[in-house]
């Protein structure tokens, strides 16, 4: 039932009741002539009010009718509706609105909370969050005087913030952040004496902060970043001594940072970058012992010192960037900053050497000291966790220490004085000499006269005016650089997107088409930076050039939602000169051209983030400079060839002739080898093209390009059948996973082709799709669809930041079961997987599970009850009869599924030696809890909630699937039906014998003998033909599943 109808009916009935009540108390003296109404009309009205399905009788309602009307009017104007969970039968203050166990910050949206007495309920909390509602701040909020929490952030509200907001005296938490509100801030907000949190960041206000806000003495959180306010911070703010969080970045605040900030003894987070404050930084900030996160940047004048941080021992993130700090770094720096994880002192005037203690901080992961005047050599030792280091643009020199070659290290040493030769070089710093301060590559001997770069793209493009743009999709993250192979151009990037879950340094490709350009392809990608991005032209002939910079915003959503409200603002420098201040990107193409003079064979284009713009639209860490394409072309007739030189001296000619003669001899041998190889490849192709069911045949060159020559950075994992790489097909842009089968698998060509043909016919929504294959000599490759969320084991056990909720886990369990049921029972050929485990269950973006690696084991015939073959599988998931006797049926997969189901349920691996002895082995621990009637104690403690009935179903099914005898395990079609509740669970008879007779202290021989004896019991059970038992008969369940599995298979 819609909210509008419910609330209208509720309000109508309340007013009808009130009017009748007032009419009955009027005196005859004041009574006016009344309209006579016929009895049938009255009876009809009574019938409608009483019996119409959405009508609510007055005596059964509780919410204040004035508040109901206000709420209904706002929701109607915004085109949104309440959910039935809190708007039961038209009364807003029902259901979860009055249920204390449902938090206001839950997923319910829109949402209200109410407080009720014996006669009436009042709305105390209102949330309309991230729904992109538009219009002005509604006047109807006046009618909700009991509001203590108002959350209208991430919408499209416009106009001023009305002064009547200051009359909502009960208000404690109020946020209008991320809207398009404008005008001055109302001083009346200063009347909200109970206010604890105030947020109006990411808006378009103007004027200064009202001094009346200094009366908000209970305020703990103040979020005003990118709000548009300016001027000096009022002196009355000295009374806000309960503040714990201040976000005031990217505004027009002026004057000095108030000295009284040092009296905010409870302060934990302070962000002031991107304003127009003057220095120095007040030393009083050193009193903030509880401060965890300090970010100050972009001071316009004054000289600051680092001495204020001496006593700030709680700091976790310290960013003093572009603040004109003139100081040396103390030798004992590590003594009072042991908790630091991120330190950024870049773009200052620091001098002296880098203290060894700074490189030994136990928790430091990010260190940015670029653009200072530090000298000396690099510290000889470094903590292993320090993996992101920017030391660019200093005066450092000397030899490289051993840690420079550490794996996963991001290190930027551009713009220093290192002499790089055979005695001082590192494979991890290729062509770094080209980007030292003297820029020696081709200096004074130029060979280039132009260059152009398609930033962030893997494609080389020729524009409509004939300019050739080089690709530029190299991985450049926190502290990185790159120089092109021909030493024509380079790029340097520093900075980290703080708080971003998945930092993006390259945006796109986007499918957007840009109307105002003939070169739309140049704007499909863009390179971004969290701090500073520099491009260099190297070895250019001196003279006048035109620098053309192309921009198009693709990081924000170009739609009618709040995600379009982002602002990206940065500065542009060329040859060290500021050419554009506070440049702001737009959704349309912007192209800016500059005329420059090259006098030392070098061009430097610098995009610098000065703290301006929004930080968190559409997600945390969306800010900083963005560039789509760069071109530098001469305004003169060049005298150089704009190409690499050729060697024309006699020595080269002689050497060339000798090499040519030798090459001719070798060529004959190569030709013979090539002819044989071509015959083999033609034979391969004939066999491949004979497979009419194959979706595609890929060339080896195509897959090499897609995976960047099978680069280690693209490696997704390695299993028993080989290594898997991520790739992107250049032909259509598809993401793919390429399995490079290992030569040790001993698969013949025909075996390989037969397996491919089988796999290609098996299609189901819970099976990984095979796109195609490739044979190149001895190489065999399979091309699968790419699964965005990787494998289930990485999600369950490896990603500490992601906790799968219960509905997702339950869906993964059911989806995996359906995939196995299809393999076992509905596929044209029956397939036993043999290695079902969490790492072989891959997840799509929406966490839909898909089984991988099926069909890479032997197929089995319908009439066979077992196959004797080599055991393929993983310890912990192997069924007993398969592990010890090689007895293979589909029930081997059923056993493995039972183990995986318990892993999904418990969030732990099947074996964990770090746990107490009785909990090391998952199956043993699960059965012990089950026997004690404490089965639900095995549920993952990280789950916020779960469905108890569904959990019990999974536990029962998992324990049934892991029975000792394979005949006691149900077929997968029956497993699916039990999981979804279509058939009842019949009960587990007893704990499996392989657990009851097993002791922790038994030797491996004893365990082997024990299991062998148990398997003899299994053999005897096989002979008793227990398949006739109704509990095991799967005909009914298979019939019930058939239509569903076949439908999903299509």
Give binding residues for ATP as ranges: 739
Of the candidates 773, 642, 607, the one whose C-alpha atom is nearest the C-alpha of residue 700 is 773
Name the token pair of 1030. 């109704």
Question: Which residues make beta-bridge pairs with 543?
Answer: 598
Cα–Cα distances in angstroms (integers) from residue 129 to residues 562, 622, 832, in the given order: 10, 20, 49
Distance CA 342, CA 367 (A): 6
Taking the CA atoms of residue 89, residue 90, residue 92 and residue 96 in that order, the dihedral angle to the nearest 10 degrees is: 20
Q: Which of 91, 433, 835, 893 is catalytic?
A: 835
CA 172 to chain centre: 32
Tell me whether strands 317-321 and 269-271 are parallel, antiparallel or unpaired. unpaired
Distance CA 1011, CA 993 (A): 9
Taking the CA atoms of residue 298, residue 300, residue 303 and residue 305 in that order, the dihedral angle to the nearest 10 degrees is: -20
* 649: number of Cβ within 10 Å: 8
Distance CA 17, CA 114 (A): 23
Name the token pair of 275. 């304003």
| Omega prior to 110 cis, within 30 of 0 | yes
HSE, CB side, 13 Å, CA atoms: give it for residue 776. 15
3-state secondary structure of 982: coil
The DSSP code for 1026 is G
- CB-CB contact of 632 with 451 (8 Å): yes
Where is the binding site, in residues? Answer: 739
Distance CA 893, CA 971 (A): 10
Strand locations in 108-178, DSSP E?
111-116, 121-127, 134-136, 149-151, 156-159, 173-175
Q: What are phi and psi of 93, to 5 degrees?
A: -85, 60
- 256-259 long-range contacts (CB < 8 A, ≥24 apart) are 256/282, 256/302, 257/281, 257/282, 257/285, 257/296, 258/233, 258/282, 259/284
Q: What are phi and psi of 838, to 5 degrees?
A: -65, -35
- CB-CB contact of 739 with 715 (8 Å): no
Element containing residue 842 per DSSP (H, E): strand 841-843
3-state secondary structure of 839: helix
Q: What are phi and psi of 479, to 5 degrees?
A: -150, 85
The secondary structure of 873-940, three-state, reads CCCCCCCHHHHHHCCCCCHHHHHHHHHHHHHHHHCCCCECCCCCHHHCEHHHHHHHHHHCCCHHHHCC
Tell me the CA end-to-end span of the chain in Å, nearest whole number. 36
Angle CA 343–244–254, to nearest 5: 70
Give all strands of the β-sheet with 180-183 in edge-to-edge order: 134-136, 156-159, 180-183, 204-205
Name the token pair of 505. 């340094």
- CB-CB contact of 552 with 587 (8 Å): yes
Distance CA 524, CA 454 (A): 9
| Omega prior to 442 cis, within 30 of 0 | no
Element containing residue 580 per DSSP (H, E): strand 577-584
Contacts of 135 (CB under 8 A, 6+ apart): 77, 78, 157, 158
835 is catalytic: yes
Name the token pair of 818. 């359906």
CA 903 to chain centre: 24
Active-site positions?
Answer: 835
């Amino acid at each position: 039932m819609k909210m509008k109808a419910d609330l209208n009916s509720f309000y109508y009935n309340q007013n009808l009741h009130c009017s009748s009540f007032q009419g009955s108390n009027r005196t005859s003296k004041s009574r006016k002539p009344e309209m006579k109404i016929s009895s049938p009309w009255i009876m009809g009205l009574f019938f409608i009010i009483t019996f119409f399905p959405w009508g609510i009788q007055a005596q059964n309602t509780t919410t204040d009718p004035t508040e109901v009307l206000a709420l209904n009017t706002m929701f109607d104007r915004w085109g949104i509706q309440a959910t039935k969970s809190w708007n039961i039968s038209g009364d807003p203050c029902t259901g979860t609105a009055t249920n204390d166990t449902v938090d206001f910050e839950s997923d319910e949206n829109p949402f209200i909370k109410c407080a009720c007495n014996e006669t009436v309920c009042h709305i105390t909390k209102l949330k309309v969050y991230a729904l992109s509602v538009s219009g002005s701040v509604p006047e109807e909020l006046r009618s909700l005087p009991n509001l203590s929490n108002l959350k209208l952030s991430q919408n499209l509200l416009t106009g001023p913030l009305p002064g009547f907001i200051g009359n909502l005296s009960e208000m404690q938490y109020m946020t209008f952040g991320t809207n398009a509100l404008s005008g001055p801030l109302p001083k009346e907000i200063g009347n909200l004496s109970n206010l604890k949190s105030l947020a109006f960041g990411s808006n378009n206000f103007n004027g200064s902060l009202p001094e009346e806000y200094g009366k908000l003495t209970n305020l703990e959180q103040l979020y005003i970043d990118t709000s548009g306010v300016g001027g000096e911070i009022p002196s009355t703010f000295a009374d806000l001594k309960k503040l714990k969080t201040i976000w005031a970045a990217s505004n027009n605040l002026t004057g000095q940072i108030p000295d009284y900030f040092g009296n905010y003894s409870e302060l934990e987070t302070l962000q002031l970058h991107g304003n127009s404050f003057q220095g120095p930084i007040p030393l009083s900030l050193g009193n903030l012992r509880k401060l965890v996160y300090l970010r100050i940047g972009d001071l316009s004048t004054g000289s600051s010192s680092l001495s204020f941080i001496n006593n700030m021992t709680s700091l976790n993130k310290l960013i003093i960037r572009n603040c004109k700090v003139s100081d040396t770094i103390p030798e004992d720096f590590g003594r009072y900053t042991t908790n630091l994880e991120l330190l950024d002192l870049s773009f200052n005037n620091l001098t002296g050497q880098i203290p060894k203690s700074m490189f030994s901080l136990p928790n430091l992961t990010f260190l940015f000291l670029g653009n200072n005047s530090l000298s000396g050599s690099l510290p000889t030792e470094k903590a292993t966790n320090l993996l992101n280091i920017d030391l660019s643009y200093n005066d450092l020199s000397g030899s490289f220490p051993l840690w420079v070659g550490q794996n996963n290290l991001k290190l930027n040493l551009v713009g220093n004085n290192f002499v790089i030769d055979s005695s001082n070089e590192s494979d991890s710093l290729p062509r770094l000499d080209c980007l030292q301060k003297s820029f020696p590559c081709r200096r004074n001997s130029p060979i280039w006269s132009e260059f152009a770069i398609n930033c962030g793209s893997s494609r080389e493009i020729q524009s409509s005016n004939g300019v050739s743009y080089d690709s530029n999709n190299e991985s450049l993250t926190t502290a990185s650089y790159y120089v092109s192979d021909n030493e024509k151009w380079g790029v340097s990037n520093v900075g980290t997107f703080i708080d971003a879950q998945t930092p993006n340094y390259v945006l796109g490709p986007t499918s957007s088409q840009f109307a105002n350009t003939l070169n739309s392809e140049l704007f499909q990608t863009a390179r971004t930076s969290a701090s500073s991005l520099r491009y260099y032209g190297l070895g250019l002939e001196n003279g006048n050039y035109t620098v053309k910079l192309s921009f198009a915003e693709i990081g924000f959503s170009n739609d009618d939602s709040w995600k379009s409200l982002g602002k990206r603002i940065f500065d542009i420098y060329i040859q060290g000169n500021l050419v554009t201040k506070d440049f702001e990107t737009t959704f349309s193409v912007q192209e800016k051209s500059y005329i420059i003079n090259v006098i030392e064979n070098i061009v430097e284009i610098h995009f610098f983030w000065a703290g301006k713009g929004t930080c968190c639209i559409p997600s945390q860490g969306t800010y900083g400079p963005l560039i789509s394409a760069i071109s530098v072309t001469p305004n003169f007739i060049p005298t150089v060839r704009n190409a690499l030189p050729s060697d024309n001296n006699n020595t080269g000619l002689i050497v060339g002739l000798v090499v040519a003669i030798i090459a001719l001899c070798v060529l004959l041998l190569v030709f013979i080898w090539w002819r044989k190889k071509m015959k083999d490849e033609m034979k391969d192709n004939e066999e491949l093209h004979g497979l009419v069911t194959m979706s595609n045949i890929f060339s080896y060159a195509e897959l090499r390009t897609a995976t960047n020559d099978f680069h280690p950075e693209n490696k997704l994992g390695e299993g028993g059948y080989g290594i898997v790489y991520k790739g992107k097909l250049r032909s259509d842009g598809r993401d793919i996973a390429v399995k490079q089968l290992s030569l040790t698998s001993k698969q013949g060509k025909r075996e390989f082709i037969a397996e491919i043909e089988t796999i290609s016919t098996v299609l189901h929504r819970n099976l990984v799709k095979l796109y195609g294959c490739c044979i190149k000599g001895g190489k065999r490759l399979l091309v699968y669809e790419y699964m965005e969320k990787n494998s289930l084991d990485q999600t369950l056990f490896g990603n500490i930041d992601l906790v799968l909720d219960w509905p997702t886990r339950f869906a993964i369990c059911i989806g995996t079961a359906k995939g196995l049921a299809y393999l076992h029972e509905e596929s044209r050929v029956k397939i036993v997987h043999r290695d079902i485990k969490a790492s072989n269950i891959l997840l799509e973006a929406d966490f839909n599970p898909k089984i991988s690696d099926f069909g890479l084991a032997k197929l089995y015939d319908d009439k066979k009850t077992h196959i004797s073959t080599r055991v393929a599988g993983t310890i912990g998931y192997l069924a007993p009869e398969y592990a010890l006797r090689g007895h293979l049926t589909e029930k081997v997969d059923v056993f493995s599924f039972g183990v995986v189901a318990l892993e999904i349920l418990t969030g732990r691996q099947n074996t964990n030696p770090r746990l107490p002895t009785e909990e090391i082995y998952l199956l043993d621990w699960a059965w012990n809890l089950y026997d004690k009637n404490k089965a639900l104690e095995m549920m993952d403690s990280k789950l916020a909630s779960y469905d108890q009935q569904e959990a019990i179903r999974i536990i029962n099914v998992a324990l049934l699937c892991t029975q000792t005898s394979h005949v006691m395990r149900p077929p997968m079609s029956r497993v699916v039906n039990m999981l979804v509740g279509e058939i009842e669970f019949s009960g587990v008879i007893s704990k499996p014998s392989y657990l009851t007779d097993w002791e922790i202290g038994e030797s491996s021989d004893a365990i082997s003998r024990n299991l062998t004896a148990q398997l003899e019991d299994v053999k005897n059970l096989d002979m008793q033909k227990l398949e006739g038992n109704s509990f095991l008969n799967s005909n009914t369940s298979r019939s019930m599943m058939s239509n569903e599995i076949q439908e999903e298979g299509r």
